[in-house]
Chains A and B, each alone.
Chain A
Amino acid sequence: AQSVSQHNHHVILSEAASLELGCNYSYGGTVNLFWYVQYPGQHLQLLLKYFSGDPLVKGIKGFEAEFIKSKFSFNLRKPSVQWSDTAEYFCAVNADGQNFVFGPGTRLSVLP
């Protein structure tokens, strides 16, 4: 069965700091990978996705993620965070037509 782990439960950064959130999955076959964001009191929204092709994918709001197949990883990055990036971030995997599996989430707090 697929599983997704996220390295950090809670990350606290100051504005303009760089961000990297770790995501690892366990599945040996073909995967589709996603990062979702949930702003306080809101629903999950797609940040970016990887289906195939260039392993470096760019999403909305300056976020990007890199798929490293050999490491089963799909880490999320942003060079300079803003206070408005305060939210919970979820990594998700969908593999070979199986169901979506979400990681436990990482709460990001950006201090102004």
Chain B
Amino acid sequence: DSGVTQTPKHLITATGQRVTLRCSPRSGDLSVYWYQQSLDQGLQFLIQYYNGEERAKGNILERFSAQQFPDLHSELNLSSLELGDSALYFCASSPQVTGELFFGEGSRLTVL
């Protein structure tokens, strides 16, 4: 158990819908990262927050957004879902910007 909690573990939805994935980092970790893992794209960095502020942005689509709240939990919002958005979405936390990452168990999103 890494101490990073993600919900839901599995989510099935239809194209065009919107979902929210939630991540609670390890106690005391200020950095939260979101990654998308799919078979054809590998592990893709989406976005990083540090203590509530967006710090880095990767290959995140405009249909996707995220935020980190004052209690340090983070949410990833995916809207206007397409079939290609089906993937595992991992959250990771880190005690500092360049420390090691601790990954959650992921949220598996299936878009039908």
Contacts and interface: CB of A to CB of B under 8 A. Distances in A.
Interface of A: 32, 34, 36, 42-46, 49, 90, 92, 94, 97-102, 104-105
B58 A99 contact: yes
Contact of B103 (A45, A99, A101, A104): A45
Given A42-B105, A99-B58, A49 B100 contact: yes
A102 B98 contact: no
B55 to A, nearest CB: 8
A21 to B, nearest CB: 15
B2 A90 contact: no
Interface of B: 2, 33, 35, 42-43, 45, 48, 55-56, 58, 90, 92, 97-98, 100-106
Given A43-B90, A99-B48, A34 B100 contact: yes
A90 B55 CA distance: 23
A90 B58 CA distance: 18
B1 to A, nearest CB: 10
A99 B56 contact: yes
Nearest to B47: A99
Nearest to B91: A43
A101 B98 CA distance: 12
A46 to B, nearest CB: 6
Among the interface residues A34, A94, A99, A104, which one has the most CB atoms of the partner chain B within 10 A?
A99
Nearest to A42: B105
A102 B45 contact: yes
A43 B2 contact: yes
Given A94-B98, A98-B56, A44 B90 contact: yes
B100 A90 contact: no
Given A32-B98, A45-B2, A94-B98, A101 B104 contact: no
A94 B48 CA distance: 13
Contacts of B100: 34, 46, 49
A102 B101 CA distance: 11
